[in-house]
Structure 1
Amino acid sequence: MSDLTVGFDLDMTLIDSRPGIHAAYTALAAETGTFIDADLAVTRLGPPLEEELRHWFPQEHVAEMGDRYRALYPAYAIEPTPAMPGAHAAIEAVQGLGGKAIVVTAKHAPNARLHLDHIGLRPDVLVGWLWAEAKAEALREHGASVYVGDHVGDVRGARKAGALSVAVPTGPCDAEELAAAGADVVLPDLTALPAWLTEYAATRA
């Protein structure tokens, strides 16, 4: 199965980024004196940062605040962020089949790399700054036949790439919403991926 390439989303698929993102928003709010409801913000992770910042800052300040958030992020968000249950086993399952595991995320790639290094996840490729349908660019470039994510945007990206959409309801979208968006497979969480992947690889072979 050396031609097997499986893509993964990062936030709420491979990592539980809520504690770290909460801390980073809290730091940005304290520094700017602007109210940000961090509890609310972490319930709608997935889309690009700027979409969330528009709820709290005027449009003309969004780009500047995005840059500042990303600068604060390493000091506040990496250490408190754990791997999702099954994340290590999911990556290892792909690589154990002789395949390539790639992470395609909307997150700023240097900060995504800090997360992966901190929790010891070792994908073969990391691509950042891509959201929803734009993820299809990287999935096609690397020949991914499967994309695993937690958001309807991940489903749309997989479908545009012609990849199988495997969804886990561990983020803001529930199983019904993911299925309605067109997910080909909805697993209860990432711990179910290795068994599914073994069966997929066998039928594909």
Structure 2
Amino acid sequence: MSFVVGFDLDMTLVDSRAGIVACMQRTLGDRGVAATDEQLWPLIGAPLADNLAQFLPADQVPGAVEQYRALYPELAVPMTTALPGAHDAFAAIREHGGQPMVVSAKYEPAVHAVLHQVGLQPDIVVGDAFGAGKAVPIKQHHATIFVGDHEGDMAGAVAGGAYALGVLTGPHDEAQLRAAGAQSVVPDLRSFGPWLNDYLSDPPAR
């Protein structure tokens, strides 16, 4: 059986919260803006420029994006770890003859750096895609399933024609994910292998 399963990156496959918050706080702090963990945590998963624009005037955003991206490899990447079940999820897909794919809003070089840091090796990597924009690579690579922690991930899955599977390791709860289009929700990726077995034994109509 050949099939593709797509995953979001931040807070779906990896715990990147501490590193992202540290880079945001340094970047904003250098511009005289203080932001708390509680303010920044719900923003993880959305495009960087959009998040910075919530705290900075428009003319400061491009420079802040550049600074954040320069900081990220040395400050954030070493703080990033694989979430429980991430490696097993990739293994489960490959045991069934499938291919794991990662589609992230993150700048693509940073996506590769994070994946190398945590030892995850998807067959396909796409960066700079958020929300309904994730539908493009989902369709291009014929992904059957898309897994994510964010409302935008569910929107991308729906727009791309993939089965939308939510995970509760990010800032959004089950009700929010289902409202955004999730067809199933699991607590974390430790549940993915059994879920995939059930899905493949009785695939839903598409």
- Superposition TM-score, scaled by structure 2 size: 0.94
Q: Does 1:85 align with 2:84?
A: yes
Give the AA of the match of 1:144: A
Give the AA of the match of 1:176: A
Match of 2:177 in 1: 178
Give the AA of the match of 1:51: D
Matches within 5 A, 1:10-159: 10-30=9-29, 32-39=30-37, 40-159=39-158
Which structure 1 residue ranges, 5 or more long, are not aligned?
A: none
- How far apart are the structure 2 equivalents of 1:47 and 1:36? 19
The answer (yes or no) to whether the contact 2:28–2:64 under 8 Å persists in 1 is no
Secondary structure of 1:148 counterpart: strand
Per mean C-alpha deviation after superposition, the further-off stretch among 91-100 and 136-145 is 91-100
Q: Does 1:161 align with 2:150?
A: no
Q: What is the number of equivalent residue pairs in this alignment?
A: 203
Give the AA of the match of 2:144: S
Q: CA RMSD in A?
A: 1.4
How big is the shift at 1:36? 3.5
Q: Percent identity?
A: 41
- How far apart are the structure 2 equivalents of 1:84 and 1:160? 26
- How far apart are the structure 2 equivalents of 1:70 and 1:42? 18
Deviating above 4 A after TM superposition, structure 1's stretches of 4 or more consecutive aligned residues are: none
How big is the shift at 1:44? 2.3
Secondary structure of 2:125 counterpart: strand
Which structure 2 residue ranges, 5 or more long, are not aligned?
A: none
Match of 1:9 in 2: 8
